Structures are given as C-alpha cells and as structure tokens.
Amino acid sequence: MKKCIAFLYLFCIACLCLSCISCLHGEEALFPVWVPTWQGIKYKVDVTGGDRRYGFIDESGKCIIPLEYDYAFGFAEGLAHVSKDGRGYYINKENEVVLELGTMLSSRFSDGYARVSEKGLYGYIDKSGRVVIPLIYKDAMDFSEGLAFVKEEINGKMRCIDKENNIIFEGEYKKCNPFKNGYAIVHKKNGKESSPVLLDRSGKEYVLPTGYEMLVPQIDRDGNLLLKKNDSFFLYSIKHNSMSRFFPDYEVFTDSETSKEGLKDRTGRILIEPMYDFVRLPDNDGFVHVGIWYESEEKFKEGFLSTTGDVLIPIEFEILSDFENNLAAFLPYRSNGGYVSRKGQIYYYKDYMQQ
C-alpha cells in the first residue's frame, strides 16, 4: 500500500515538474523554469504551496531571462506570456515587453491568436494586442489550422469558429481536441455519458471503433488513428474505414511472476530485463525513463537507460520528469531540485537564484 501511494505521489509531482519545462517546438527552445522562494527557506522545496519565481533557460541550462516573474508560460510563435504583480504581459526572447494585458488573463499564441479572458468570458487577440474576436464565450480553446472550439454562453453548446468568428458548426460536445491534419477528436454528449467521435472541418462526424483505447487523440498525416486493445496496437484508417495491426518498434512488457517491467523490440527480443517498477517507451533520442522501488528506503528512484539497457542518467532521482528536448526536471521532496540534461549535467534551483 505504501508503495502504491508513493508511486502515485511521485507521478503527480513529476507531471508538475514537466509542466514547468514544456511547450518547446524547434526555434522556441527557451524553457520556463521556477524556483521556490517561500517560508524563508532558501532553495528548499515544499510541495504543499508557496511563492515561486519564474524565468527562462536555454537547452544548455544557461539562464537567459532572469527569474523575476510570478508566472510564465513557454514561448510560442516568438512570444511568452508572463505575469508580475498581478498584471500580464507578452515578452520576446530579449525580455522586452511586446504587449501589456493588464488584469486580463491570457494563454500562449497559437495559429496567430491567443485566448484571453476577463470576468469569466473568453475571446481572442492577435499579436498587435487587438481584440479580433470579442470576449463573449463561456470557454474557448486554442486555434489550430484556422479553427477553434468555443462554448456559447447561453445554451452552453460548443461551436467551431473560424478566425472571423464565423460559426462553422456546433453541437453537444465536450473535451474538444484541436484540429490536426484536417480532423478533430471530441467527446459527444449522450445523456450523462459521452463518447469520442471524429469531426472533419465541416463538422461531419465519423464514429470511432468501440472497445479500443485511443493512445493519441489526433489523426496522423496519413489519416490514421493509433489505437490499442489488450496488448495489441492498431491503425484505424479514416479514409478506408478499416483496421490494421500495428507493430511498434518497442514494447513495454510485464513479468508475470515478479510484476516488474522491461522493454523488448518488435521481434520479441528483450532489450531491458524486467527488473523495474515502471518502464516508459523510448523518446525520440532513445532515452528510456525507468523507476524502481527500494523497499529498505521506502523510496522510488528514477533515471534513464538506453534501449540496450545502459545507464544514461543514474537511477538516483526521487522525482523525475520526462525530457523536454534537452532537460528533465527533478524535485526531491524537501531537498534541492533542479534540472538534468541529457549529458547528465545538473542545474540546481539555487544556481538560478544566484544569477
């Protein structure tokens, strides 16, 4: 029981760490980072709450924008949303204020527009700060491929609008994912229940196969959706309304006797022996995130292996996120936290506090 609780706790905190260094896409490689500054205890982490200061570092761990903000989102389309003393701003990578938002809440830019909200209503601005879609909606999602989902205030229906605020279609939807490669996956209400459906840009619905787990809520460029059933993977073709088996390059497996996890390739050859309490699939750079429970210490410890089982990042971090490009966040409980690079370089919170 202790083991289960500890794992859930560590998983939640790792997700928190990851959110602090997310949203990097090519040229947007500046990470928003935070350090704790509360209770008069320098550099110590208390996950129960408190003040934080945000700034930005690059992929080498170098501090580019000082940790002077109360909050910061990652850079997108050349701008980052930050807040300080209760007021919001967009800054560029030289830490120059490009737009002032005042008390208006905002998100990152996507498809040239950013969501903004005030007094519980949502709309959109462009990069000049001009309100291009008025704040009339109860909720709103990011634009993608020229379309966005918004919730109508009176009847609560979800609408799909274009950049001129024209209604393309509407329906009883919730949990709407952005359009990708011409399609969006949404959950359609059916009484108290809801089920996923696929929508094209006109609002035409495509019923998805039942009994499968949707691994990624997006259609790939070839019009396929990746699904899983039991331990098998499938590609569902929207165009042909057909299903075909998909064999991934790697697969995490569980030893039936020990319940430990390992990694094997598509031929079934074992690459990493089943000796870990969790194993994740390799990222694009071949880093495999693993964790193991040490009964004597009553602690989880995490690190990264190669696809051949070699240690890339020592398994000594109590809480560790996945890599976002070059950095992974670690947050030991009531101890110094920071970031570790793919080369094993460690950057502590205290180092940024001193800059």
Is the model's pLDDT at 256 over the cut of 90?
A: yes
pLDDT of residue 89: 94
Label residue 355 by pLDDT band (50, 70, 90).
low
Of the candidates 279, 297, 298, the residue with the CA atom closest to the CA atom of residue 289: 279
**In angstroms, rounded to a whole number, what is the distance separating the alpha carbons of residues 5 and 25?**
34
Of the candidates 180, 210, 182, 183, the residue with the CA atom closest to the CA atom of residue 196: 210
Is the model's pLDDT at 110 over the cut of 70?
A: yes
Distances (CA, A) of 181 to 164, 206, 219, 220, 245: 21, 15, 6, 7, 22
318 CB-contact burial (10 Å; exposed 0-12 / middle 13-18 / buried 19+): buried
For the stretch 145-181, what's the b/e string if a residue is b when 16 or more beta carbons lie within 10 angstroms of its beta carbon? eebbbbbeeeeeebbbbebebeeebbbebeebbbbbe
**In angstroms, rounded to a whole number, what is the distance separating the alpha carbons of residues 196 and 342?**
37
pLDDT of residue 178: 94
Range in 33-37, 59-63, 193-197 the model is least confident about: 33-37
Residue 258 CA, chain-centre distance (Å), reads 32
**In angstroms, rounded to a whole number, what is the distance separating the alpha carbons of residues 158 and 293?**
45
Enter the tokens of residue 57: 């570092």
Q: Quick check: 262 and 291 in contact, CB under 8 A?
A: no
Q: What is the pLDDT of residues 300-328, one digit of tens each?
A: 899 999 999 999 999 999 888 898 768 88
Label residue 216 by pLDDT band (50, 70, 90).
confident
Average pLDDT over the chain reads 83
Enter the tokens of residue 281: 């699939």
pLDDT of residue 77: 92
Enter the tokens of residue 270: 């074992």
Label residue 215 by pLDDT band (50, 70, 90).
confident
Read off the amino acid at residue 273: E
26: left (phi over 0), alpha (psi -120 to 50) or beta: left
pLDDT of residue 92: 93
pLDDT of residue 35: 59
